[in-house]
Amino acid sequence: MSLHQRFYSTTHDPFAGVTCYINEVLLIVRQLNTIGHKPADDEVTDKILISLDPSFSAIRSILSLCEPIPRVDEITAALQEYENQEKVISGDVGES
């Protein structure tokens, strides 16, 4: 599978966690950059948000409506915080 295909086909598995998903996307971005095909920053942020699991739809909507669109590190922090809050609410704290 080509790097471009991997970039566009990678999706968020909520059981693996949002950090794992974002790290996978960023690894592919670094590999694309190495061969001279780095996606634009807004393409990376769009990819991260669009391919989130549906259980993240609330935070995805909030982040998508921000002006300017947050940077990858800001999106990562917000998604990690959201994921941690959801674990507390559902009682899954400490299980991952």
The SS3 assignment for 18 reads: helix
Average per-residue pLDDT for the chain: 93
Q: pLDDT, tens digit, for every residue of 27-41?
A: 999 999 999 999 999
Q: How far does Cα 45 stand from its chain's mean position?
A: 8
Q: Residue ranges per domain, the chain?
A: 3-90
Which 8-state DSSP code applies to residue 55? G
CB 37 within 8 A of CB 5: no
pTM equals 0.88
pLDDT tens digit string along 65-84? 999 989 999 999 999 999 99
